[in-house]
Structure 1
Amino acid sequence: MLSSSPDQLAVFTETGRNDSAAEVVITDGRVLISSSEPLCWVVLRWSLPMTEGVQVLGDAWERGYGDLEWRGISAERVLPWYALVHEPKSGATRGFGVQTGAASLASWRVDAAGITLVLDVRNGGAGVRLGERTLEAARIIPLESEPGESAFAFATRFCRALCPAPRLPKQPVYGGNDWYFRYGNISEETVKGDAALIRALSPSRENAPFFVIDAGWFPASGCDGGPYEQGNAKFPDLPGLAAWMKSEDVRPGIWIRPLLNSAPPESWRLMRDRTYLDPTVPEVLDLVHTDIARLADWGYQLLKHDFTTFDVTGRWGFGMGGSVTADGWHLANRGVTTAEALTGLYQTIRQAAGDTYLIGCNTVGHLGAGLFELQRTGDDTSGRHWERTRKMGVNTLAFRMPQHNTFFAVDADCVGLTSAVPWEHNRQWLDLLAKSGTPLFVSADPDAIGPEQRAALVEAFTRAAMEQAAAEPLDWQSNTSPTRWSCGSYTWDEFLGSAFPCPG
Structure 2
Amino acid sequence: MKLKPENSGIGIRVSADTTPVTFVRLRWEHKFPAETLFLGDAWERAYGDLQWRTFDSHRFMPWYFLAHFSGVTAGCGVRVCPGAMAVWNIDPAGITLSLDLRNGTRGVILKGREIAVAVVVSAEYPKGTPFDAAKSFCKLMCSDPLPLRTPVYGGNNWYYAYGDSSHGEILADSRYIASLSEGLANRPFMVIDDGWEIMHQKPGNSGPWTCGNEKYPDMQKLADEMRSCGVRPGIWMRPLWNIDPAIPEMWKLPERNHTNLRALDPSRPEVIALVEEDIRRLSGWGYELIKHDFSTNDIFGRWGWEATPWLAAEENWHFADRSRTSAEIVVDFYKAILGASNGALILGCNTIGHLGAGLMHIARIGDDTSGNAWGKTRKMGVNSLAFRLCQHKAFFEVDADCVGITGKIPWQKNRQWTELLACSSTPFFASIRPGSLTAQEFAEMKQLFAVASRQDVAAEPVNWLADTLPEIWRFDGKEKRFHWYSDESACLSWDV
Normalization by structure 2: what TM-score?
Answer: 0.95
Q: Is the 8 A contact 2:423 2:455 kept in 1?
A: no
User: Aligned match of 1:154 in 130, 133, 146?
Assistant: 133
Q: Percent identity?
A: 44
User: Aligned match of 1:246 in 201, 209, 227?
Assistant: 227
The yes-or-no answer on 1:224 pairing with 2:200 is: no
Give the secondary-structure state (helix, strand or coil) at the position aligned to 2:435: helix
Q: Name the stretch that deviates more: 98-107 or 269-278.
A: 269-278
Letter in 1 for 2:310: S
Distance 2:255 2:381 in 1: 31
Partner deviation per Cα, 1:220-262 (whole Å, 9 max, x = no partner) = 1245210011111111111011011112220000000000001
Q: Is the 8 A contact 1:152 1:472 kept in 2?
A: yes
Deviation at 1:492, TM superposition (A): 1.9
Q: Is the 8 A contact 1:50 1:112 kept in 2?
A: yes
User: Aligned match of 1:92 in 72, 76, 86?
Assistant: 72
The yes-or-no answer on 1:255 pairing with 2:236 is: yes
Deviation at 1:131, TM superposition (A): 1.2
Letter in 1 for 2:92: A
Task: Identify the residue that residue 355 of structure 2 maps to in structure 1.
Answer: 367
Aligned pairs for 1:240-389 within 5 A: 240-263=221-244, 264-273=247-256, 275-327=262-314, 328-389=316-377
Letter in 2 for 1:184: G
The yes-or-no answer on 1:111 pairing with 2:99 is: no
Give the secondary-structure state (helix, strand or coil) at the position aligned to 2:412: helix
Distance 2:457 2:76 in 1: 26
Deviation at 1:325, TM superposition (A): 1.6
In structure 2, the gaps of 5 or more residues are none
Deviation at 1:25, TM superposition (A): 3.1
Distance 2:146 2:241 in 1: 27
Letter in 1 for 2:110: L
Partner deviation per Cα, 1:335-381 (whole Å, 9 max, x = no partner) = 00111111111011001102110100000011111011100000000
Letter in 1 for 2:212: G
The yes-or-no answer on 1:195 pairing with 2:183 is: no
Distance 2:225 2:405 in 1: 25
The alignment covers a number of residue pairs equal to 479
Letter in 2 for 1:110: I
The yes-or-no answer on 1:72 pairing with 2:54 is: yes
Q: Is the 8 A contact 2:181 2:449 kept in 1?
A: yes
Task: Identify the residue that residue 12 of structure 1 maps to in structure 2.
Answer: none
Distance 1:161 1:415 in 2: 32
Distance 1:494 1:330 in 2: 47
In structure 1, the gaps of 5 or more residues are 1-22
Distance 1:502 1:204 in 2: 41
Q: Name the stretch that deviates more: 244-253 or 192-201.
A: 244-253
Letter in 2 for 1:116: T
The yes-or-no answer on 1:485 pairing with 2:481 is: no
Letter in 2 for 1:144: E
Letter in 1 for 2:134: A
Partner deviation per Cα, 1:79-126 (whole Å, 9 max, x = no partner) = 000010110xx2011100100111111111111111111101110111
Normalization by structure 1: what TM-score?
Answer: 0.93
**Residues 500 and 271 of structure 1: CA distance in aligned 2, closer, same or farther (over 3 Å):** closer
Deviation at 1:503, TM superposition (A): 4.7
Q: Is the 8 A contact 2:171 2:229 kept in 1?
A: no
Task: Identify the residue that residue 237 of structure 1 maps to in structure 2.
Answer: 218
Letter in 1 for 2:274: L
Deviation at 1:33, TM superposition (A): 0.7
Give the secondary-structure state (helix, strand or coil) at the position aligned to 2:48: coil
Task: Identify the residue that residue 397 of structure 1 maps to in structure 2.
Answer: 385
Aligned pairs for 1:421-432 within 5 A: 421-432=409-420
Letter in 2 for 1:293: R
Distance 2:274 2:162 in 1: 27
Deviation at 1:204, TM superposition (A): 4.4
Give the secondary-structure state (helix, strand or coil) at the position aligned to 1:122: coil
Task: Identify the residue that residue 443 of structure 1 maps to in structure 2.
Answer: 431
Distance 1:243 1:493 in 2: 43
Q: Is the 8 A contact 1:272 1:330 kept in 2?
A: no
Deviation at 1:448, TM superposition (A): 1.5
Give the secondary-structure state (helix, strand or coil) at the position aligned to 1:372: coil
Q: Which runs of 4 or more aligned residues in structure 1 lie more than 2 Å from their structure 2 counterparts after TM superposition?
A: 23-28
Give the secondary-structure state (helix, strand or coil) at the position aligned to 1:379: coil
